[in-house]
A and B are shown apart, each in its own frame.
Chain A
Amino acid sequence: MKMSEKPKLNLNRVPIPKQEPATRRSNFNEVALGYNDEQALEEASRCIDCKKAGCKGGCPVNIDIPEFIKAIRAGNMPEAVRILKSKNSLPGICGRVCPQETQCEMTCNLAKKGGPIAIGRLERYVADWERDHPEIAEQQKERISFNGQKVAVVGSGPAGLTCAFDLAKLGYKVVIFEALHIAGGVLVYGIPEFRLPKAIVQGEVDYVQSLGVELKLNYVIGKIATVDELLENGFSAVFLSPGAGAPMFLNVPGENLSGIYSANEFLTRTNLMKAYRFPEYDTPIQVGKRVAVFGAGNVAMDASRCALRLGAEEVYIIYRRSKAEMPARLEERENAEEEGVIFKLLTNPSRFIDDERGRVKAVELYEMALGEPDESGRPRPIRKPGSDFIMEIDTAIPALGTRPNPIIPSTTKGLELTKWGTILTDEASGQTSRKKIWCGGDMATGAATVISAMGAARRAATDIDKYLRGSTE
């Protein structure tokens, strides 16, 4: 091939259309609108189809990324759907909430040159196309023959759905036990409608159910039945994916005042219980004019953007470190900033102040300076003496992460835990310290991403299959 024939690299990512910040900050509709056919084709055409596709290695569930992009380019959408779905049961979700910039898009060969393929947006495009063409799913539905063994999955979040999907395809009868009244776990109670519409989640849950997976709602395992009872009652294996668990608080005085919500509570009221439609929906929420969110992860971004949409005039993210250390995805941070969330960095609370009727009225804050790196490798924040000040607020939302929920460990004998209270799990196989019990998702790793939970669930499903085949042969 002569040099002159080599196609010129196009490093301009096709931008995704979004609702304008001024409009979207007052509605719960989806912010990113998705590619249309032309935009998707243009973006797919930028893929240079390299021999050593770096993108594939960056995907925790090993999607054959170059092939599905090739199918988009060829206009063969049913094929793109098939390739995507053979590895990922939840593409509509992953295309929206995966941190692609640290995964497939980071290892894309074009990333080095500054313009990686927008793999996440293309994934979403294919998933949305499939939603509009339900006949394709029907045609592609595989015939599954039941192999006679039952597996219980605890929790219907991303890990639970993925494990159920994989095992159902292999012929197992899977029953998912969900504690809440709707399936989806963090996808329905945590991630807001404007980032992940609940209809998309429901669609993916329906798909998993269409493979023969049975879903039992309102089932708190550890209460209505223990893990051991599941094993005694016909299940050959149990996969535990109960999710994050108990919210952490700041441990400062006044934290139990009304108007102080854990991010879990604030998001659950808003997303799961639809408090933004009170009084049409029965669950209320109080936001007021000034809201302070503590922490700077993705959950903090979600909470702050929900607060804006619930009518708050000023929403602050209060974080004790600086911008460089913020754990939230860049995209979420930018979205929040565009919508008007105010970042108060290097600031930490010392106490909450009462309005004398039990409601929070203000928070006392102090400034921080960055010192030497701490055990996490990030500069240690140090309190600046004499920098205390008071900020009036109507609502406070600590978004500091979670501790594992004790319900399953305390009702399952012999399940070894880590020093953090998570279930001790072999990373490669998902195997716990007990036979026939596997674990994945936040309960195994502590708070992490949707896709990493899905990757762990896939590895566990493979290991469960290996174990169960070994035990019958």
Chain B
Amino acid sequence: MYKIVKKEILAPNTIYLKAEAPEIAQKAKPGQFVILRVDEVGERFPLSLAGWDEDGGTLEILFLIMGRSTMKLSALEEGDCIMDIVGPLGRPTEIVSYGNILSVCSTFGIGPTLPLVKALKEKGNKVVSVMEARDKTCLFWEDRLKVVSDATHIVLGDGSRGKHRRVSEFITEYLKSGNKVDRVFAFGRIFMMIECSRATKPFGIKTIVALTPIMVDGTGMCGCCRVSVGGETKFTCVDGPEFDGHLVDWELLIKRKRAYLREEALAFDLWQPYNLRQLAELSGLSKRASIV
């Protein structure tokens, strides 16, 4: 059991949790993820690590409420426990001296981005960060990004800040105006990662994306997370999660991510918050999500 020591609601449907997992915290590196299982009947699902504290023995995660599992996770409060956390999984990001880096993230992608940017800076890279959000209600941690980056740009989908509405527009203009970029990292929403990859391709700048397919075991045993990169089948959990965005078969990834839409809708519907509360009352349990 892994105790939650801090919880924050950062933006609509966006939750931040800090949980005790001292041994994982000792080993975690930028780019890695954990697999969680919220309760006895829960499914196994991956989340990127948004931070870790070796001395405090804690992990941080940041997620959007998307379905039943993330809904259950969001229903846990400080002092409650997550049943299982396995990690750190996946290959860490290759942190070397690249030179000039453009780091792009969409809202929840700022989780894995912050430790990445910090590590890249420590290696002497110059990092310019771009963060996209739908509008200012969905924007958070801008200050944290500013602290670790050499420069920070915000792109809001409603056009309420700056002149761009999409990261791709920003990137294209940034590169056209002669800014030198040696490597791009894009973490977050899948369509944002596609956009970034398309925008950087004409300039021939290698763009690293972190893929988030459906996973089960997370250790290379089942092949559920297979993706096609440069025509080759790869397992995201052991070969990734980071790949060259110019080589990823995005259409396949999207289709595989959507394979269980019907089941997800059914499961989510059965676990809407009021159902959760009602079940809790009926079975005489606390608000803990461990209701069978």
Contact = CB atoms under 8 A, between A and B. Distances in A.
A246 B267 contact: no
Interface stretch (A164-172, A256-264, A426-434): A256-264
Contacts of A357: 255
Interface stretch (B56-64, B81-89, B172-180, B203-211): B81-89
Nearest to B24: A224
Nearest to A359: B259
Interface stretch (B192-200, B216-224, B240-248): B216-224
B252 A246 contact: no
B44 interface: yes
Contacts of A259: 259
B68 interface: yes
Contacts of A225: 23, 27
A283 B43 contact: yes
B85 A358 contact: no
A263 B255 CA distance: 21
A273 B216 contact: yes
A265 B44 CA distance: 12
A246 B223 CA distance: 7
A223 B223 contact: no
Interface in A362-418: 405-407
A255 interface: yes
A223 B89 contact: yes
Contacts of A281: 41, 43
Interface in B78-97: 83-89
B66 interface: no
Contacts of B255: 257-258, 357-359
B41 A264 contact: no
Contacts of B83: 181
Contacts of B238: 246, 405-407
B228 interface: yes
Contact of A279 (B24, B84, B223, B270): B270
Contacts of B222: 247, 262, 264-265, 268
A405 B219 CA distance: 8
B256 A256 contact: yes
Contacts of B161: none
Interface in A225-270: 225, 243-247, 249, 255-259, 261-262, 264-265, 268-269
Interface in A178-230: 179-181, 189, 217-220, 223-225
Given A249-B223, A284-B267, A406-B238, A218 B259 contact: no
B240 to A, nearest CB: 14
Nearest to B222: A265
B220 A246 contact: yes
Q: In the complex, which range does the number of interface residues on chain A fall in? A: 35 or more
Contact of A268 (B221, B227, B256, B270): B221
Contact of B86 (A189, A220, A280): A220
Contact of B260 (A257, A273, A286): A286
A405 B220 contact: yes
A279 B266 contact: yes
A179 B44 CA distance: 13
Contact of A282 (B69, B219, B223, B228): B69
A359 B259 CA distance: 8
B37 interface: yes
A278 interface: yes
Interface in B256-270: 256, 258-260, 263-264, 266-267, 270
Contacts of A407: 219-220, 238
Interface string B81-121: 00111111100000000000000000000000000000000
Interface of B: 23-24, 27, 37, 41-44, 68-69, 83-89, 216-217, 219-224, 226-228, 233, 235, 238, 251-252, 254-256, 258-260, 263-264, 266-267, 270, 292
Given A268-B217, A280-B292, 17 more contacts: A223-B27, A224-B23, A224-B87, A244-B221, A245-B221, A246-B220, A247-B223, A256-B228, A264-B223, A268-B222, A274-B41, A282-B267, A283-B44, A286-B263, A359-B255, A405-B221, A407-B238
* Shortest 4 CB-CB contacts between residues of A and residues of B: A358-B255, A284-B263, A258-B259, A265-B222
